[in-house]
Structure 1
Amino acid sequence: MAPSEYKIAMLPPPGDVVAPNGFPADPRPKNAPRIFLDAMDLRIEVFCDEQHCALEPELDEDDPRSWHWVAYRTSESGAEDPVSVIRIVPPPHGPHPNGFSDPDEEPYVKLGRVATKANHRGRGLSRLLTEAAFQWLAAHKEKVAAGYDGLVLCHAQVSVEKMYAKLGFVTDEKLGRWDEEGIEHLGMWKRV
């Protein structure tokens, strides 16, 4: 199936409806929008079930304030199946995972929670969603944050560093490498 045969949906920041009682929170909140629930189901499948990351921190404090993109494939029965997901987290951000902090760092967004179902990998869906998000960011900088000028940070799993490089991201050696849930990560930047 070609990327053009997938439907892309975007959900603006859903707010407290995804964690009405604060954190930790149910990763499948009852009153959350359908797009959010689809994104969470896919993230749980890929990160928790497949990669053995902990379930409890999968829904985090960034989810209520983030934009979420989901790619859907329509099945023969007409059902829309979520197959790929990303999120964009607006500023502000805390120190980088290695502790590096620059008070003069320009506002940036974080691309993260990039996940694609195993049977849909290799079809360019992460690229498709990332490009859709970048087009939206370029056209709506004022909705992101004051002073935002298109800078994007990705905390990439080391195993997919080359994929992000193909998308135009450049590895930042000053951010080093760190462990998240037993998976080695590094920081990469791009301007859209």
Structure 2
Amino acid sequence: MAKSSHTTTFTAKDGTLYILAMLPPPGSIVAPNGFPADPRPPNAPQLFLDAMDVRIRVFCDEQNCALEPELDEDDPRSWHWVAYQQPRNGEPQSARPVSVIRIVPPPHAAHPNGFEDPNEEPYCKLGRVATLKEVRGQGLSRALVDAACKWLATHAREVGGGWQGNLLAHAQLEVEKMYERQQFVTDERLGRWDEEGIVHVGMWRRVKLQGTP
């Protein structure tokens, strides 16, 4: 498993153990020559490369999204979480990355449908939520989101930008109900928009920051 500055564990519905690992914003090392960038940058941290491997397999290979823009301008400044499946007793293979998310701090551009609110509170954005097909249904995405929210609740100062707990998910429409079960609420003002042929909606969740009432 790749080294991480923060890890926790999760036991899935089938009893498999996963290590949930976090990588702080990796900076320009993931795109040393600007954008477009190599989606598998050779000098990037291993955890970032593991995250990109899962993203490419799900979004590009399975959902037919373009490869070139998969690594984008938000990746250098984002926190990346990866779930590593641990081998069962007696099995020789090493832990493998199977599920990912990223958290992008403020500031952000206008919403995809063009909506802008001059009084909008600074927010973090949850995205690049992907789980390999063979391990879906085990609660991994939810576990990663919960782990990220717990970390964010105690690191608001590190997030910066005046962030006070608002978290926005760009959710694929077909999994809107899954996000609702994770305390996200659809914002009708943001409408629906198309990304790589997939319809998305904007959904909010309030992260309760440590020390707030």
Give the TM bin, normalised by the shorter chain.
over 0.9
Give the structure-2-normalised TM-score. 0.88
Match of 1:52 in 2: 64
Match of 2:143 in 1: 128
Alignment counterpart, residue 99 of structure 1, candidates 102, 111, 114? 114
Q: Deviations over 1:140-174 (max 9, x none)?
A: 01111132111000010000000000000000000
* Kept after mapping to 1: 8 A contact 2:107/2:161: no
For residues 107 and 76 of structure 2, the distance between their equivalents in structure 1, rounded to whole angstroms, comes to 14
> Matched residue pairs, number?
192
- Give 1:124-163 correspondences, 5 Å limit: 124-163=139-178
Match of 2:11 in 1: 2
Match of 1:15 in 2: 27
Displacement of 1:101 after TM fit? 1.2
Displacement of 1:57 after TM fit? 0.5
For residues 162 and 107 of structure 2, the distance between their equivalents in structure 1, rounded to whole angstroms, comes to 12
Displacement of 1:78 after TM fit? 4.1
Q: Which has the larger radius of gyration?
A: 2
For residues 120 and 184 of structure 2, the distance between their equivalents in structure 1, rounded to whole angstroms, comes to 18
Give unpaired runs (5+ residues) of structure 2: 1-9, 208-213
* Kept after mapping to 2: 8 A contact 1:72/1:83: yes
* Kept after mapping to 2: 8 A contact 1:69/1:129: yes
Alignment counterpart, residue 96 of structure 2, candidates 81, 87, 93? 81
| Greater fraction of residues in helix | 1
Displacement of 1:6 after TM fit? 0.3
1:6 aligned counterpart, secondary structure: strand
Q: Root-mean-square deviation (CA), in Å?
A: 1.1
For residues 118 and 27 of structure 2, the distance between their equivalents in structure 1, rounded to whole angstroms, comes to 27
Among the aligned pairs, what percent are the same residue?
A: 69
Match of 1:189 in 2: 204
1:146 aligned counterpart, secondary structure: coil
For residues 191 and 124 of structure 2, the distance between their equivalents in structure 1, rounded to whole angstroms, comes to 19
Give the structure-1-normalised TM-score. 0.98
